[in-house]
């Protein structure tokens, strides 16, 4: 029965996103909510300037409506929606400022960090109230140890790191929508295996919402999700990893996101210490573009990598 509800939730979220697309995209265009493109990026991206952004509103609305309809009204649901919608709201403010002032940068790094820390702190408080275990499980070896109070700084770090890693991945048409659908699909399976229907329903709702959005975001994109979508997706992904007690496994299931943020860190450190760049451009998906790969080839390759990593994660977690 749980599996049937999970699949129905996925389908409803998908339909909601598909229905909302033709309603929101013309509205965003009329409001002139167009994407500002980095001039130092791949030159082929300049033609995307003006494409409606903030489409993450579609994802967040479809997600919330589906979860509230099919999920139980309990603390798990509150944590999941707070993490996703809270981070999505920070992204919304970031997107709105970019559009308002016609620039490629919105909130300052400090402002964004404060907002993310606030949402993360509230999530930690709710976890304490719900009696959430502070154990960390090492997958494959099936070894657990209690972090005690250190678990919560670890969760804050995980939320900040993952949400920004997911944000960096949102740079090509359909790239994040596809890779996030795969990651949430893996966590939906883990949640079902753990008999956590609420987490499975949330994960399935996110899969449906991003796949519905992908209908309009696949190359050539008619709309971009903006930080509204990418930060919301990142916050939700960490929340399901926390509640399924598969926090460490996130490094593998979300391996594409980890690679993206590591490429940025490596590039910055290398340039500041040696004066040399390791990649033609970071995040790494732009590097592949600049060596001659088509945008669609990069996206398909990253989707494939995400699928392989998710499969490995499920195997290590003894689900497959």
**How many alpha carbons fall within 13 Å on the CB side of residue 95?**
27
Q: Residues annotated as binding site for Mg(2+)? A: 167, 227
How much is the pLDDT for 103? 65
Q: Is residue 208 part of a domain?
A: yes
Domains identified in the chain, total number: 1
Q: Is residue 43 part of a domain?
A: yes
**Residues making up the chain, counted from first to last:** 320
Q: Is residue 116 part of a domain?
A: yes
Rounded Cα gap, residues 308 and 252, in angstroms = 10
Distance of CA 299 to the CA centre of its chain: 16
Q: Is residue 100 part of a domain?
A: yes
Q: Is residue 189 part of a domain?
A: yes
How much is the pLDDT for 318? 78
Contacts of 154 (CB under 8 A, 6+ apart): 136, 147, 247
Instruction: Please give the residue range of the domain that contains residue 187.
Output: 3-246
pLDDT at 99 over 90: no
**How many alpha carbons fall within 13 Å on the CB side of residue 63?**
33
pLDDT at 47 over 60: no
Rounded Cα gap, residues 99 and 285, in angstroms = 25
Phi–psi pair at 292, nearest 5 degrees: 115, 0
Rounded Cα gap, residues 279 and 204, in angstroms = 35
| pLDDT confidence tier of residue 32, bands split at 50, 70 and 90 | confident
Rounded Cα gap, residues 103 and 31, in angstroms = 16
Rounded Cα gap, residues 69 and 76, in angstroms = 15
| pLDDT confidence tier of residue 138, bands split at 50, 70 and 90 | confident
Distance of CA 208 to the CA centre of its chain: 14
Query: Which tokens in the block code for residue 65?
Result: 């409506």
pTM: predicted TM-score of the whole model, two decimal places? 0.94
pLDDT at 76 over 80: yes
Torsional sign, CA 288, 301, 171, 218: positive
Q: Is residue 106 part of a domain?
A: yes
Q: Is residue 314 part of a domain?
A: no
The H or E element spanning position 64 is: helix 56-70
Place of tokens 């994109």: 221
The predicted model gives 269-298 an average pLDDT of 94
Torsional sign, CA 136, 142, 145, 146: positive
pLDDT at 42 over 70: no
Q: Is residue 18 part of a domain?
A: yes
- Number of Cβ within 10 Å of residue 194's Cβ equals 16
Q: Residues annotated as binding site? A: 167, 227
Contacts of 53 (CB under 8 A, 6+ apart): 28, 33, 34, 35, 95, 98, 99, 223, 224, 225, 226
pLDDT digits (tens, 9 = 90+) for 139-197: 877 788 899 999 999 999 999 999 999 999 998 999 999 999 999 999 999 999 999 99
Nearest in space to 290 (alpha carbons), one of 167, 171, 177: 171
Are residues 75 and 129 in contact, defined by beta-carbon separation less than 8 angstroms?
Answer: yes
């Amino acid at each position: 029965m749980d599996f049937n509800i999970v699949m129905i939730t996925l389908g409803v979220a998908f339909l909601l996103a598909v229905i909302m697309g033709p309603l929101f995209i013309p509205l965003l265009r009329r409001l002139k909510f167009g994407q500002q493109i980095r001039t130092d990026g791949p030159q082929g991206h300049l033609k995307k300037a003006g494409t409606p952004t903030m489409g993450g509103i579609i994802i967040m609305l479809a997600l919330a409506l589906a979860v509230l309809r099919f999920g139980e009204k309990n603390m798990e649901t509150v944590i999941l929606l707070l993490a996703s919608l809270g981070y999505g709201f920070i992204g919304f403010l970031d997107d709105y400022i970019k559009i308002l002032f016609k620039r490629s940068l919105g909130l300052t790094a400090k402002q964004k960090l404060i907002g993310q820390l606030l949402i993360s702190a509230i999530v930690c408080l709710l976890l304490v109230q719900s009696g959430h275990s502070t154990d960390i499980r090492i997958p494959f070896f099936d070894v657990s140890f209690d972090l005690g109070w250190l678990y919560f700084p670890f969760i804050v770090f995980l939320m900040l790191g993952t949400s920004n890693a997911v944000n960096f991945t949102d740079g090509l048409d359909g790239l994040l929508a596809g890779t996030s659908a795969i990651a949430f699909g893996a966590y939906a399976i883990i949640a079902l295996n753990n008999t956590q229907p609420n987490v499975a329903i949330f994960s399935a709702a996110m899969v449906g919402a991003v796949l519905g959005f992908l209908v309009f975001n696949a190359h050539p994109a008619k709309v971009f999700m903006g930080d509204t979508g990418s930060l919301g997706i990142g916050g939700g992904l960490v929340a399901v990893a926390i509640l399924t007690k598969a926090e460490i496994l996130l490094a593998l299931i979300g391996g594409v996101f980890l690679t993206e943020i590591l490429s940025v860190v490596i590039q910055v450190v290398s340039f500041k210490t040696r004066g040399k760049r390791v990649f033609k451009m970071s995040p790494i998906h732009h590097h592949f573009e600049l060596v001659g790969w088509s945008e669609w080839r990069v996206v398909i390759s990253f989707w494939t990598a995400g699928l392989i990593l998710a499969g490995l994660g499920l195997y290590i977690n003894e689900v497959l």
